[in-house]
């Protein structure tokens, strides 16, 4: 198959059409994406560098940063273990109902973040299904940290699995079978054969999962209760500061999240290249 790169220039549009299209695309991306990104930093430093750093000298902001890290530190590893298990089960075996299972794993992406939080309120809230039992046993999930963690797990649920399933399906079972034949145990096979093959895809999934876990707003907003210093994550603290007209502080906290986003994009860009290379290598080996 011939791709565009081999084509002759006769296949191209005239110079001024190209210029018009590129101009439109660049202008659209500048207005819609780049300017909003720049605004975050400009607003954060509007009252100077000192005011920017003073924003972080606040107990509630520091608590919010801490809670964001705790939440991600619980949610990401759990979804990592799940993602590896699910893609192993899906890629290494054939069974009835596989495509249904893949659809169900993707389901949280289709559900509105607000509904993702709301379902846990229905289960664990004071009026919820387990509400009475939880109150009797003095366990609080909604308007407390466990609820925030649960909602975060829900919205970041598919990330790792979704990266690994196609990668592991592409790789097949041959290398694992060889390792097993040579006497390796199941876990040895996974750690010494499978894991090196999927490591970049795995890292990619974890990074996307982490970015979303730290940045989730809608789902966490429903279950949090917005108690400053106790159940506020960084995005929720941004909302509170903004609604208190404390714009410099709101944007200062936002810059941390924006830097995380840019860092994620950079890593994504690098890893995409590595994963594509791994896949291409697999295809030429075949």
Partner 1 sequence: MRLNFGMIKRSKSPIPGFGLTMGFTIFYLSIIVLIPIVALFGEAFSMGFDEFIRATTNDRVVASYKLTFLTSLIAALINTFFGLIVAWCLVRYTFWGKRVFDAIVDLPFALPTAVSGIALTTLYSHQGWFGQILEPLGFKIVFTPTGITIALIFIGLPFVVRTLQPAFEELEVEQEEASASLGATRWQTFYKVILPTVFPALLTGFALSFARALGEYGSVVFIAGNMPMKTEISTLLIITKLEQYDYAGATAIAVVMLLISFVMLLLINMLQRWSAKRKGMEAI
Residues 75-114 that bind partner 1 (CB under 8 A): 78, 81-82, 85-86, 88-89, 92-97, 101, 103-108, 110-114
Q: Which stretch binds partner 1 (CB under 8 A): 49-57, 196-204, 243-251, 274-282?
A: 243-251
How near is the Cβ of 52 to partner 1 at its closest, in Å?
Answer: 16
Q: Which of residues 21-50 bind partner 1 (CB under 8 A)?
A: 21-22, 24-26, 28-29, 31-37, 39-40, 43
Report if residue 244 touches partner 1, rule: CB under 8 A: no
Q: Which of residues 131-170 bind partner 1 (CB under 8 A)?
A: 150, 153-154, 157
Q: Which stretch binds partner 1 (CB under 8 A): 20-28, 57-65, 162-170, 274-282?
A: 20-28
Helix H or strand E segment including 112: none
How near is the Cβ of 80 to partner 1 at its closest, in Å?
Answer: 12
Q: Which is nearer to partner 1, 107 or 280 (CB)?
A: 107
Of 99, 100, 221, 213, residue with least CA distance to 154? 213
Q: Which stretch binds partner 1 (CB under 8 A): 55-63, 118-126, 133-141, 162-170?
A: 118-126
Spatial CB neighbours of 16, under 8 Å, sequence gap ≥ 6: none
- Residue 207 exposed, middle or buried by CB count within 10 Å (0-12, 13-18, 19+): buried
Could you tell me the maximum CA-CA distance found in the chain, to the nearest angstrom?
77
Residues 25, 31 contacting (CB under 8 angstroms): no
How near is the Cβ of 33 to partner 1 at its closest, in Å?
Answer: 5
Residues 116, 190 contacting (CB under 8 angstroms): no
Q: Which of residues 166-225 bind partner 1 (CB under 8 A)?
A: 173, 176-177, 180, 186, 189-190, 208, 211, 214-218, 221-222
Cβ atoms < 10 Å from Cβ of 22: 10
Torsion of CA 166, 169, 170, 176, to 10 degrees: 140
Report if residue 245 touches partner 1, rule: CB under 8 A: no
Q: Which of residues 50-69 bind partner 1 (CB under 8 A)?
A: none
Residues 171, 235 contacting (CB under 8 angstroms): no
Q: Which stretch binds partner 1 (CB under 8 A): 55-63, 198-206, 238-246, 278-286?
A: 238-246
Residues 231, 186 contacting (CB under 8 angstroms): no
Cβ atoms < 10 Å from Cβ of 233: 28
Torsion of CA 168, 169, 172, 177, to 10 degrees: 60
Q: Which stretch binds partner 1 (CB under 8 A): 2-10, 52-60, 197-205, 275-283?
A: 2-10
Q: Which is nearer to partner 1, 52 or 154 (CB)?
A: 154
Report if residue 11 touches partner 1, rule: CB under 8 A: yes
Among 73, 266, 276, 280, indicate the residue that binds partner 1 (CB under 8 A).
266
Six token digits for residue 270 = 């690098």
Dist. CA 224–CA 157, nearest whole Å: 19
């Amino acid at each position: 198959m011939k791709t565009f790169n081999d084509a002759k220039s006769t296949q191209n549009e005239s110079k001024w059409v190209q210029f018009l299209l590129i101009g439109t695309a660049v202008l659209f991306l500048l207005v819609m994406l780049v300017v909003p990104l720049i605004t975050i930093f400009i607003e954060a430093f509007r009252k100077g560098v000192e005011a920017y750093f003073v924003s972080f000298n606040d107990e509630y902001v520091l608590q919010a940063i801490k809670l964001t890290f705790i939440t991600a530190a619980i949610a990401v590893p759990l979804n990592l273990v799940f993602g590896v298990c699910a893609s192993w089960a899906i890629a290494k075996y054939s069974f009835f109902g596989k495509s249904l299972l893949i659809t169900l794993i993707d389901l949280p992406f289709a559900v509105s973040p607000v509904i993702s939080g709301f379902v846990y309120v229905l289960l664990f809230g004071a009026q919820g299904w387990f509400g009475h039992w939880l109150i009797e046993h003095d366990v609080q999930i909604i308007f407390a940290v466990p609820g925030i963690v649960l909602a975060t797990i829900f919205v970041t649920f598919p990330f790792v699995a979704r990266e690994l399933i196609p990668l592991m399906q592409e790789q097949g079972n041959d290398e694992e079978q060889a390792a097993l034949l040579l006497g390796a145990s199941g876990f040895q096979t996974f750690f010494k054969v499978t894991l090196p093959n999927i490591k970049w895809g795995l890292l990619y999934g974890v990074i996307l999962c982490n970015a979303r876990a730290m940045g989730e707003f809608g789902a966490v907003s429903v279950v949090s209760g917005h108690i400053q210093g106790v159940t506020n994550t960084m995005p929720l603290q941004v909302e509170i500061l903004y609604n208190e007209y404390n714009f410099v502080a709101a944007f200062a906290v936002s810059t941390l999240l924006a830097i995380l986003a840019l860092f994620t994009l950079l890593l994504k860009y690098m890893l995409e290249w590595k994963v594509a290379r791994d896949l291409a290598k697999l295809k030429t080996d075949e």
